[in-house]
Chain A
Amino acid sequence: MGEPALSRRGFLAASAAAGLSITALSGCGGGSDGGSSGTTTLEWWHIMTTEPAKGVWASLARQFESQNPKVKIKIVALENEAYKSKMTALTASGKLPDIFHTWGGGVLKQQADAGLVEDLTDRTKDWAGTLLPVAKEPYLLDEKVYGIPDDIGMVGFWYNKALFKKAGIAAPPTTWSGFLDAVRALKSAGVAPIALAGKEKWPGMYYWAYLAMRTAGIDALQKAADSKDFTGAGFVEAGEHLKELVALQPFQKGFLGAAYSGPTGQSAAVGNGKAAMELMGQWAPTVERTEGKGLGANLGFFPFPTVEGGKGALTEVFGGGGGLALRQGAPQAAVDFLKFFASAGTNRELVKKTGTLPVVTAAEDALTDPNLKAVQAQLKATTGFQLYLDQAYAPAVGQEVNDSVAGLVAGSKSPEQVAQSITKVAKEEQ
């Protein structure tokens, strides 16, 4: 869950951390419901705990405060996992922060169904048209708007051009069999073909999800979720293709215990040239630079290959982003803040300074990195969009997808068992 949190890892001088947390919190005495002096205090929970995003987001909050002298913003920035634990507990207690980070999809829907999230359909319709349609999709539930995006992206293969060349691979593969050939070629050239963070489960889920999109088709994923039946032939086939890949032993040493970030993690393995590629979202280049050395001009991107005989197309993408939602009954100032945060000016700053992809059409000119431009082009030309499965589905189902696919990758579950256990959990969820 929550991949994008990892997208902005970076170094942060200890002194800067101290300074920031002090400035970010200064003058935030009272509660969230406004003091006697007529100021409104908004509590804003997000997951940007690393630079540069942490600092940029804090300065944006200050900018908003200076434009709206009667509004104070109290930032609570939590590390990804801590944020999720806390949100679970807060959701159970029935009161969410005024403004909070969301990945949309099933989790947001549960919160909305419980009556905890503000319906923004009418309150944002004047300006929501400036946003990219694909970016808004995760927060559109039953045709109502429950969140405003600040980031969007897709998952694809990020690869090391030099290592591909060393293995004699002329061009990135576009079909699954071509992909398996490339893996074999890399292996025989003595290169670990793929880096995978087995400890965290969600990176493995990407393979199964993309394979299911390519074999069963993107509609089948939605249908399976609605009918609570993942046992269709396409899903089992997806598992079998993944099993083919696993059988080649393509992953780096110790991958089952590897984290995504950290000096021995998936991202560093690619960033330091120890593995040739990873299947990851748009934040991958940034993280490869902060966790490892980064690949510079050697870094390339190619979309997930198609599977021969499958229903999916190369232009159908899998991904997601980040957004902000409001608690039920949040004050107007919070809506104003969303408008400010989704404005072209703010978005341009985010694109330039934090390496995200633009969510506002007018901010596209701020994008300069060639790889990210390629991702952006792919996203705009997309013919189908599937949100991360662990976000799109109800949390229990999403976690079961992650969990059982991890079992498949570790060799303890068969493709049929994966399909069955996901179906079982989906049925238990009423």
Chain B
Amino acid sequence: MTSTFLPDKRSGPDTAPPAPAGGPAPGRARRRVLHWLTAVSFQVPALALFGLLVLLPMLFALYASFFRWGGFGMPSDSIGADNFTRLFDDPVFLGDLWRCLVLVVFSLALQLPFALAMAVLLNQRLRGRAFYRMLFFAPYILSEVITGILFSMIFAPDDGLADHVLGGVGLDGIGGEWFSDPSTVMATVFLVMMWKYFGFHMMLYLAGLQSIPAELTEAAIVDGAGPWQRFRNVTLPLLAPTLRISVFLSVIGSIQLFDLVWVITAGGPDHHSETMAITMFQYGFKRYQVGYASAISVVIFGISLVFALAYQRFVLRRDLEGATTTMRGGGQ
């Protein structure tokens, strides 16, 4: 797959898998250094930018998370891991974790299946499908701020579009408080998220569906498989890599959710829609407890990372299973 530049066609033993492995080349030490320098010189601009503006702030946040620090001057009052122990004793933060889980479950159980259904639908030859594709995807490119303001007006109690529509069809009992009621705020926020993001996942699936060779589906038809069997045994396994990406992005998005909720509810009422990133922002920018806020950001990062690593392992296994399933499905 990959070729490397001539001076080091046979790269050293420590180089990474895609490079052709080979034995050490003793007389070429100088050339190897030169090669290394060439390769790395291409990395310098990216590394400088990334190191200065991403890594440095990240490391600083990590450092600050071990201090009681109000954001004035440099941190000096070191308190060890106190911020972290306090964090897992904080009902608001524990609530954030719970709400994050709820969002993930909602997304996986409702949003992604819905996106998949729409993708399958729009993968057929239907009049106007290009239009629908565009319409369903359009909210994704709108900014969170615009979406948030728009929906806070649509779900305004009594005066908003949502209540007028429900009132118009005689369902005024359902509407009313939306973002204002602790028991409905998460569901309403989720509706807005679905409106904004499902089209994105749908597009991913559509692309995946289009790359499934038609012969496979035709072969399944010849074998007498019905639509559901075809979906279950041909489409779904072949879509696995796409699903994997989509689930991953959806979970990471839920863990790091900020802008949209910030604009609509700022986490309220009474913390019922607060996310980890909002709690972090509240502490960092409103309470001047920057050390504590940094600890939250470290935890958000940690959760994302642990999830990513675990997911990679889990998914790799699943992908292999998917491959065998496909073979079995094809053999029947």
The reply, when asked whether chain A contacts chain B directly with Cβ atoms under 8 A, is yes
Give the secondary structure class of B's interface.
loop
- B285 in contact with A254 (CB, 8 Å): no
In B49-74, the 8 Å CB interface with A consists of 68, 70-73
Is B284 in contact with chain A by the CB < 8 A criterion?
yes
Size of the chain A interface, CB-CB below 8 angstroms: 35
Is A85 in contact with chain B by the CB < 8 A criterion?
yes
Q: State in angstroms the CA–CA spacing of A114 and B179 once bound together.
A: 39
- A396 in contact with B71 (CB, 8 Å): no
- A92 in contact with B180 (CB, 8 Å): no
- A257 in contact with B72 (CB, 8 Å): no
Residue-wise interface mask of B (265-305) relative to A, using a CB-CB cutoff of 8 A (1 in contact, 0 not): 11011110000000000101111111000000000000000
- B290 in contact with A264 (CB, 8 Å): no
- Taking the closest CB of chain B, its distance from the CB of A327, in whole angstroms, is 14
In the assembled complex, which residues on chain B have CB atoms less than 8 Å from the CB atom of A255? 180
- Taking the closest CB of chain B, its distance from the CB of A115, in whole angstroms, is 9
Is A110 in contact with chain B by the CB < 8 A criterion?
yes
Is A258 in contact with chain B by the CB < 8 A criterion?
yes
- A88 in contact with B285 (CB, 8 Å): yes
In the assembled complex, which residues on chain B have CB atoms less than 8 Å from the CB atom of A394? 288
- B285 in contact with A198 (CB, 8 Å): no
- B71 in contact with A399 (CB, 8 Å): no
Q: State in angstroms the CA–CA spacing of A133 and B236 once bound together.
A: 75
- A84 in contact with B157 (CB, 8 Å): no
Q: Which residue of A lies closest to B284 (CB)?
A: A88
In the assembled complex, which residues on chain B have CB atoms less than 8 Å from the CB atom of A35? none
In the assembled complex, which residues on chain A have CB atoms less than 8 Å from the CB atom of B77? 430
Cβ contact of B288, chosen from A199, A264, A396, A406, cutoff 8 A: A396
- A198 in contact with B180 (CB, 8 Å): yes
Give the secondary structure class of A's interface.
helix
In B174-228, the 8 Å CB interface with A consists of 176-182, 185
- Taking the closest CB of chain B, its distance from the CB of A269, in whole angstroms, is 11
In A71-94, the 8 Å CB interface with B consists of 84-85, 88-89, 91-92, 94
In the assembled complex, which residues on chain B have CB atoms less than 8 Å from the CB atom of A257? 157, 177-181, 185, 265, 268-269
Q: State in angstroms the CA–CA spacing of A412 and B178 once bound together.
A: 19
Cβ contact of B158, chosen from A116, A254, A428, cutoff 8 A: A254
Cβ contact of B287, chosen from A89, A198, A256, A396, cutoff 8 A: A396
In the assembled complex, which residues on chain A have CB atoms less than 8 Å from the CB atom of B288? 88, 91, 110, 394-396
- Taking the closest CB of chain B, its distance from the CB of A198, in whole angstroms, is 6
Q: State in angstroms the CA–CA spacing of A385 and B68 once bound together.
A: 32
- A114 in contact with B72 (CB, 8 Å): yes
Is B156 in contact with chain A by the CB < 8 A criterion?
yes
- B71 in contact with A92 (CB, 8 Å): yes
Residue-wise interface mask of A (377-401) relative to B, using a CB-CB cutoff of 8 A (1 in contact, 0 not): 0000000000000000011100110
- A406 in contact with B270 (CB, 8 Å): yes
- Taking the closest CB of chain B, its distance from the CB of A303, in whole angstroms, is 29
- A412 in contact with B270 (CB, 8 Å): yes
